[in-house]
A = this chain, B = another copy of it.
Amino acid sequence: MYTIGQVSEMFGLPISTLRYYDKEGLFPNIERISGIRRFSDAEIEAIHVIECLKKSGMEIKEIKQFMQWCTEGSSTYPLRKELFENRRKSVENEIEQMQKTLDMLRFKCWYYEKAIKDGSEENINAMLPDQLPADIQALYNHAHE
């Protein structure tokens, strides 16, 4: 069992954020002793899940819905499973998008390295859009798809 201050330390989250999450209904079963929140292992795991779902792009309201399902027993297992499967697909997709972004950044790193060597962008721009060295062309194409 932990106080809000201890949990704040554990996760590096401000106390105000934890209280905000509670206010938004993300800890529906949290225990209180004379008004003071006691975070149990269930809430600790909930915070891991909250962080995960947030990074996956979910909004607080939707996360609240999930936490609600968790209090409703085994009948909501299929709903919860579906939620995680959708999130998984969404994150897999997002990682693919990030790879495109990364290829654009790698292309631009090459671009400016060469521009510095050449003293100008002229040579490079003469190679655009399809006369770049093969490996760089692949980055450029991927980024501009």
Contact = CB atoms under 8 A, between A and B. Distances in A.
Interface of A: 48-49, 52, 55-56, 74, 77-78, 80-81, 84-85, 87-88, 91-92, 94-95, 97-99, 101-102, 104-106, 108-109, 112-113, 115-116, 119-121, 143-144
A108 B78 contact: no
A87 B116 contact: no
B98 A55 contact: yes
B52 A115 contact: no
Copy count, this protein chain:
2
Contact of A94 (B88, B98, B121): B98
B91 A95 contact: no
B105 A87 contact: yes
